[in-house]
Amino acid sequence: MAKADWEIPANLQPDPSDYSYDLTRALDAVVGIRSYVPADAFTAGTLGTERAGSGVVIRESGLIATIGYLVTEAETIWITSTDGRAVPGHALAYDQETGFGLVQALGRLGLPALEMGDPDLLKTGDAAVFAAYGGRKHAVETRIVARQEFAGYWEYVLDDALFTAPAHPFWGGCGLIVDGRLMGIGSLILQQGDRKGRRLDMNMVVPINLLPPILDDLLNFGRVNRPARPWLGMYATEAEDALLVGGLADDAPAEKAGVHVGDRILTVNGEEPGDLAGLWRRVWASGSAGAEVRLSLRRDRETVEIAVRSGDRARFLKAPRLH
């Protein structure tokens, strides 16, 4: 992977003299990730067959934490250090619930590992460095602007996500660093408007304290060693106080059961979901993967009752290729 030719504006880059820790060493732990996914992979149509972003070395053996969508179903992975060295990698795991992905370098990286910190100690207003692969010119000085629940349209909820601004333009897999420790992994960029019509771009960051409790399972089994949540393969959106089906994964449980794009979701198992997070939590409360999920939907001025036999999302994905 060649070095990118973009740079963060100089006034937004972190200045090493402003930090009590070795900023250069910390940034050296952030690596580039480029993955190649087969064209027939389940996620190829939505996430593409070539994906690029960053990851953070968390063990000197070459174990890297990144965001899972970069490496899901990856057949080939290349890891690049700030000094331009490239080694192959192997996708060890992707955790559906947190969104973390793990990659193991298959060659010697010789890079420092970034110690994981405690995001529970972070407060709104705290300063941080949000770093992509490429050193200081690819890092931005940022602040924690919010800590709150986040719900994604792809059947995903975080109870306490971190939000930072100014935003990093190449956020996927970036490392959020405070006091020389890793506090989170970059997932998304979001826009929020204020009453004056101004737009604030923010990054959503997955807190790193979600990783240690599941790390051994991911390393030993490739997934968390407990029953999988029920998955529908249904993309939902909030619009004017309504929850709508915005899309359906091909051949997934919701599509097979007869759910349609544009359906308004009224209840899940007889309960009104309220919001997007409530929708997914009610789906997951149905039991484990394979449980029946009863949906009451509004379609063309009629109410439609559909029972969806949920699935295990991981079974729709290609397993990591052994090296």
Same domain, residue pair 201 and 270: no
Round the average pLDDT of the chain to a whole number and report it. Answer: 95
Across residues 194-203, what is the average pLDDT? 80
In a domain, 305, yes or no: yes
Q: Return d(Cα 33, Cα 56) in angstroms, integer.
A: 10
pLDDT at 25: 97
Final residue of a structural domain among 168, 188, 219: 219
Q: What is the CATH number of the domain that holds 276?
A: 2.30.42.10
**Tens-place pLDDT, residues 66-96:** 999 999 999 999 999 999 999 999 999 999 9
pTM: 0.94
Across residues 282-300, what is the average pLDDT? 97
Q: Return d(Cα 57, Cα 113) in angstroms, integer.
A: 5
Residue type at 75 in one-letter notation? E
Q: Work out the pLDDT band at 4, boundaries 50, 70, 90.
A: low
The answer to whether residue 125 scores a pLDDT higher than 90 is yes
Q: Work out the pLDDT band at 2, boundaries 50, 70, 90.
A: very low
The answer to whether residue 199 scores a pLDDT higher than 90 is no
**Is residue 166 reached through a cis peptide bond, with omega within 30 degrees of 0 on the bond before it?**
yes
**Tens-place pLDDT, residues 59-71:** 999 999 999 999 9
pLDDT at 3: 44
Same domain, residue pair 253 and 273: yes
Find the domain containing 192 and state its range: 119-210
Query: Cα angle at 175 between 318 and 201, to 5 degrees?
Result: 95
Same domain, residue pair 27 and 100: yes
Question: Which residues, in sequence order, are bridge partners of residue 244?
Answer: 237, 264
Final residue of a structural domain among 210, 244, 264: 210
Q: How many domains does the chain have?
A: 3
Structure token pair of residue 34? 């480029």
Q: Return d(Cα 137, Cα 14) in angstroms, integer.
A: 8
Q: What is the CATH number of the domain that holds 73?
A: 2.40.10.10
Q: Which of 128, 129, 104 is nearest to 31 (CA)?
A: 104
Q: Which of 129, 130, 131, 126 is nearest to 146 (CA)?
A: 126
